[in-house]
Amino acid sequence: MTNVIPLNINQFTFEELISDLTELCKQDLVSVNTIILDKLDSNVPLVQEVAKYLILSGGKRLRPLLTVSSFHMINNNIKQKENSINHIGLAAAVEFIHAATLLHDDVIDESKQRRGKPTANEKWKNKTSVLVGDFLFSRAFQLMTKYGNYTTLRILADTSVIISEGEVLELANDKNLEINEDIYFDVVNAKTASLFSAASQVGAISANASNTEINALKSFGTNFGMTFQLVDDAIDYSSNKKILGKNTGDDFKEGKITLPIILAYGRSNEKEKKFWKRTISNLEQENGDFDNALEIINKYQCIEDTIKRANHFSNVAIDSIDIFKDNQYKEKLVSLVSTSISRIY
């Protein structure tokens, strides 16, 4: 097991550790942001307006942070000018892919708010959001070809396909209460974990990592992504959402099938199943329905069981980077994964 001791999660919040790691990678992230701002430029003013509205709206930059911190954790004493692969440019490409998926997701989910602000589709309608999302994907590929090599291009291109497949898989099972955990995990792996994994891998490749090291970061990113999304899904039915800036019960209001709902439906009696079919499948919701949903979810300990599964993935993520030498980047990545669970408390 690793000798790195994660920071006490009772002393530091997930957001504080993000800030800590961001400060450690500050110089790189400033450069990432410079590239992002440059690539947001467009001859079409509306494209630039919508893209800037989304990308500059205060996100954590978690995925590019994984790229630059993975690079520095490995960093085999190479000088960037001697390496044809630029981890900073690839980190920007990762952020553009993420931003594109957010635009498309909000259209599919018919979301009205993101990060406390109206979504792009709410302000500019669906057609504009989809087309600007396509623009951001295209910008990402420009960055991949400029700053990467064949391997990084293949990883990020394959990931873009996987994300798209995940979006379609989720849509195909929209409001289907009969889906099992395997399908749910396939969706989460495709839509969230795959980009965490790709972000970590391209950072490793930029640092001249060995195949063993690249595979370790692939596992780390995948399992961290699974952890992150499972906790995110549980938070929607927890009591600590105001601190996290999330809107209470958004997933429920949208009829989104997440693990707490899958577990609750599978354990419900006939009367409760009728409730889920009305509120989720048919999206016929009344005052008090969300409170009833919480009561059923708590009755069957669905949040606790969701977090147990998240803990499994977080342990695998931490074990995956045990092969690397101890340094401050490794320590903070381990602590970040550990603390991501505590977001719900």
Residue with tokens 């199943």: 273
Query: Is 90 exceeded by the pLDDT of residue 83?
Result: no
User: CATH no. for residue 225?
Assistant: 1.10.600.10
288 inside domain: yes
- Inter-residue long-range contacts of 134-142, CB under 8 Å, 24+ positions, other chains counted: 134/100, 135/42, 135/47, 135/51, 136/51, 136/55, 136/96, 136/97, 136/99, 136/100, 136/103, 137/96, 137/97, 137/100, 139/39, 139/40, 139/96, 140/93, 140/94, 140/96, 140/97, 140/100, 141/93, 142/39
* The pLDDT of residue 239: 56
Name every residue whose Cβ is closer than 8 Å to that of residue 90 and which is 6 or more positions away in sequence.
67, 143, 144, 147, 148, 152, 156, 202, 203, 206
* The pLDDT of residue 108: 86
Of the candidates 169, 177, 185, which has an alpha carbon nearest to the alpha carbon of residue 262? 177
E strands, 255-341, in order: none
* The pLDDT of residue 89: 96
Which of 126-135, 258-267, 276-285, 298-307 comes out lowest in average pLDDT? 126-135
Arithmetic mean of pLDDT, 5-22: 69
197 inside domain: yes
pLDDT band at 317 (very low <50, low <70, confident <90, very high): very high
Q: pLDDT > 90: what percent of the chain?
A: 73
Mean per-residue pLDDT over the chain, rounded: 89
273 inside domain: yes
- Amino acid (one-letter) located at 283: L
Which 3-state string (H, E, C) describes 118-158? Answer: ECHHHHHHHHHHHHHHHHHHHHHHHHHHHHCCHHHHHHHHH
259 inside domain: yes
- Amino acid (one-letter) located at 131: L
Q: Which residues of 148-180 are buried (b: 16+ CB within 10 A; e: fewer)?
A: bbeebbebbeebbebbeebbebbeebeeebebe
* The pLDDT of residue 15: 85
Most confident of 108-122, 212-226, 248-262: 212-226
1 inside domain: no
Q: What is the pTM of this model?
A: 0.91
* The pLDDT of residue 247: 63
Residue with tokens 């609750």: 264
pLDDT band at 131 (very low <50, low <70, confident <90, very high): very high
* The pLDDT of residue 343: 80
Which of 50-54, 176-180, 190-194 comes out lowest in average pLDDT? 50-54
Query: Is 60 exceeded by the pLDDT of residue 241?
Result: no
pLDDT band at 198 (very low <50, low <70, confident <90, very high): very high
219 inside domain: yes
Query: Is 70 exceeded by the pLDDT of residue 11?
Result: no
Domain count for the chain = 1
Q: Are strands 113-114 and 117-118 parallel, antiparallel or unpaired?
A: antiparallel
Arithmetic mean of pLDDT, 149-168: 96
Arithmetic mean of pLDDT, 197-225: 97
280 inside domain: yes
Arithmetic mean of pLDDT, 157-169: 96
303 inside domain: yes
The residue ranking higher by pLDDT, 87 or 244, is 87
Task: Give dist(CA 320, CA 219) in Å, integer.
Answer: 6
Domain, as residue range, for 94 = 14-344
Query: Is 80 exceeded by the pLDDT of residue 332?
Result: yes
Q: Are the C-beta atoms of 335 and 21 separated by less than 8 Å?
A: no
Query: Is 70 exceeded by the pLDDT of residue 80?
Result: no
